[in-house]
């Protein structure tokens, strides 16, 4: 059975799309191939994103910040999910016309202007919101999410 490919797209590919990629892998990795990318990648994943994922037992050490252009003409996605308004607006049309396109908007942990511990708390909140949305989406797809925590 071929796994459907899911692309999570945001602007910097340093937080939200990385969270979504890692969480979907934990919830339903046997059903999908997960990817994430940015329209303007930052080149690294935020440390608080890595920490928030580590706290719930998800290892994203194999993930890195990359451009959506890495996939142009190379990968056909069954689902393209934008997780920020900028990516929704700036995503190359070829991806938005591919498979099923959805837009889920979440706050950007990269833009939280607070102390380090508060940044982590805000990132945890976004992580949990993304997980909740992914669990709902999987149920819509007829898939029971795995428990990983």
More confident residue, 30 or 114: 30
Let me know if residue 53 belongs to a domain.
yes
- pLDDT for 145 equals 96
Give the position of tokens 């940044």.
119
Asked, for residue 148, whether it belongs to a domain, the answer is: no
Question: 1: Cβ–Cβ under 8 A, 6 or more apart, which residues?
Answer: none
d(CA 28, CA 72): 25
Query: What is the pLDDT averaged over residues 41-64?
Result: 95
DSSP helix/strand/coil, 69:
helix
Of the ranges 4-18, 69-83, 118-132, which one carries the lowest mean pLDDT score? Answer: 69-83
Is residue 146 domain-resident?
no
- pLDDT tens string 70-118: 988 888 899 999 998 776 666 666 565 678 889 999 988 888 777 767 8
Which of the following is catalytic: 28, 46, 58, 84? 84
Say if strands 100-103 and 79-82 run parallel, antiparallel, or are unpaired: parallel
Q: Copy the structure tokens of residue 149.
A: 């925590």
The total domain count for the chain is: 1
pLDDT score recorded for residue 73: 82
Which residue is catalytic, options 58, 83, 91, 126?
A: 91
User: Is there a domain that residue 135 lies in?
Assistant: yes
The residue from 9, 10, 27, 45 that is catalytic is 10
For residues 59 and 74, the answer to whether their CB atoms sit within 8 Å is: no
Beta-sheet pairing, 32-38 with 4-10 = parallel
149 in any annotated domain: no
Give the closest residue to 126 by CA, choosing from 42, 23, 9, 27.
Answer: 23
* Alpha carbons 114 and 111: distance in angstroms, whole number: 9
User: What's the CATH number where 110 sits?
Assistant: 3.40.50.2300
Domain that holds residue 99: 4-140
Mean pLDDT of the chain: 90
Amino acid 74: pLDDT: 87
Q: Does residue 84 carry a catalytic annotation?
A: yes
């Amino acid at each position: 059975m071929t796994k459907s490919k899911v692309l999570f797209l945001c602007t910097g590919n340093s937080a939200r799309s990385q969270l979504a990629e890692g969480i979907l892998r934990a919830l339903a990795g046997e059903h999908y191939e997960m990817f994430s990318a940015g329209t303007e990648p930052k080149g690294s994943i935020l440390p608080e994103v890595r920490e928030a994922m580590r706290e719930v037992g998800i290892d994203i050490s194999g993930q890195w910040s990359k451009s959506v252009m890495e996939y142009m003409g190379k990968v056909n996605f069954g689902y393209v999910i934008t997780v920020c308004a900028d990516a929704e607006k700036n995503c190359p049309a070829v991806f938005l016309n591919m498979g099923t396109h959805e837009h889920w908007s979440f706050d950007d942990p990269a833009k939280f202007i607070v102390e380090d511990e508060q940044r982590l708390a805000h990132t945890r909140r976004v992580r949990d919101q993304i997980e909740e949305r992914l669990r709902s989406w999987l149920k819509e797809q007829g898939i029971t999410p795995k428990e990983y925590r």
